[in-house]
């Protein structure tokens, strides 16, 4: 930007220098071979003022280009980082239709519409703040893996874990937790990546309180029972709790 915005002023300086003879002798300056102020006092005042204005304009344009004008970023908000997500939605409730949202399955890294995945099925979807986080890794996900057979015995066709992570992280986390140990697909816990938090927002469980610690909007801890794309039960944990969304409690309600 300095070349683009200051150079025209430099050429103006040169133009005036060629067009007008020296009218001020720089006897007070050392012998530099040239006089840095070859004009009248009025000329010099105008040149200095022009340079100051040009520098100010160049600085403003440069700051706008870097997204810092007025102290605010002009870059688009990265999906999943909307600080207005906290408390802006009411969680989905029993009787509501499951929203039509695309997530990514960690099994094959392919996008799948959640309604198409669960059409005609009885399913439990549980969500948590993040892969590899302590409570999620030590309590929440292991509980569903441990009770997957019991849930199947109660008629649950699909159990899916949802988190605002990318599919590669979800796959690695699932492997670390042993979700692939069951050879039957019906006995697996599906790891679904809600990468841009679209599903979390549609369910009304997206929360910006996690931005400072986890870097972006995440979903509150929840679990819901869905039958043929209709919500039958929705349990959302209050802040800091891990109880109503656990596998044992969902199992007891079936």
* Number of residues that this document lists for the chain: 254
**Which phi and psi (to 5°) does residue 98 adopt?**
-65, 130
C-alpha–C-alpha distance, residues 54 and 58, integer Å = 6
Instruction: Indicate if 136 belongs to the active site.
Output: yes
Q: How far apart are CA 100 and CA 89, in angstroms?
A: 17
- The residue among 104, 127, 131, 80 whose CA lies nearest residue 226 is 127
Q: Counting beta carbons within 10 angstroms of the beta carbon of residue 94, is it exposed (0 to 12), middle (13 to 18) or buried (19 or more)? A: exposed
Task: Please give the full DSSP string across 124-186, using - where no structure is assigned.
Answer: EEEE-S-TT-HHIIIIIHHHHHHTHHHHHHTT--EEEEEESS-HHHHHHHHHHHTGGG-SSGG
Non-local CB neighbours of 80 within 8 Å, separated by 6+ positions: 164, 195, 196, 197, 216, 217
Among residues 14, 26, 136, 244, the one annotated as catalytic is 136
Beta strands per DSSP E along 164-244: 189-193, 206-207, 218-219, 222-227, 230-236
How do 218-219 and 206-207 pair as beta strands? antiparallel
- What residues are annotated to the active site? 136
């Amino acid at each position: 930007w300095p070349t683009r915005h200051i150079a025209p002023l430099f050429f103006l300086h040169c133009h005036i220098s060629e067009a007008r003879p020296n009218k001020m002798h720089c006897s007070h300056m050392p012998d530099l071979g040239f006089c840095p102020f070859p004009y009248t006092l009025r000329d010099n005042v105008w040149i200095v003022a022009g340079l100051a204005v040009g520098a100010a304009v160049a600085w403003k344009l440069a700051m706008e280009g870097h997204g810092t004008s007025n102290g605010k970023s002009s870059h688009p908000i990265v999906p999943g980082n909307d600080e207005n997500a906290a408390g802006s939605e009411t969680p989905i409730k029993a009787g509501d239709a499951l929203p039509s949202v695309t997530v990514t399955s960690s099994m094959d890294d392919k996008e799948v519409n959640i309604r198409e995945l669960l059409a005609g099925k009885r399913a439990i979807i549980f969500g948590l703040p993040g892969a590899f986080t302590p409570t999620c890794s030590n309590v929440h996900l292991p509980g569903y893996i441990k009770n997957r057979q019991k849930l199947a015995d109660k008629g649950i066709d699909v159990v899916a874990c949802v988190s605002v992570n990318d599919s590669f992280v979800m796959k690695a986390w699932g492997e670390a937790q042993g979700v692939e140990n069951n050879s039957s697909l019906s006995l697996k816990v599906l790891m679904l990546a809600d990468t841009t938090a679209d599903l979390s927002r549609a369910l009304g469980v997206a929360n910006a309180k996690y931005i400072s610690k986890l870097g972006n909007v995440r979903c509150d801890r929840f679990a819901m029972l869905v039958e043929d794309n209709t919500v039958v039960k929705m349990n959302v944990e209050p802040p800091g709790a891990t109880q109503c969304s656990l596998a044992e409690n969902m199992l007891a309600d079936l």
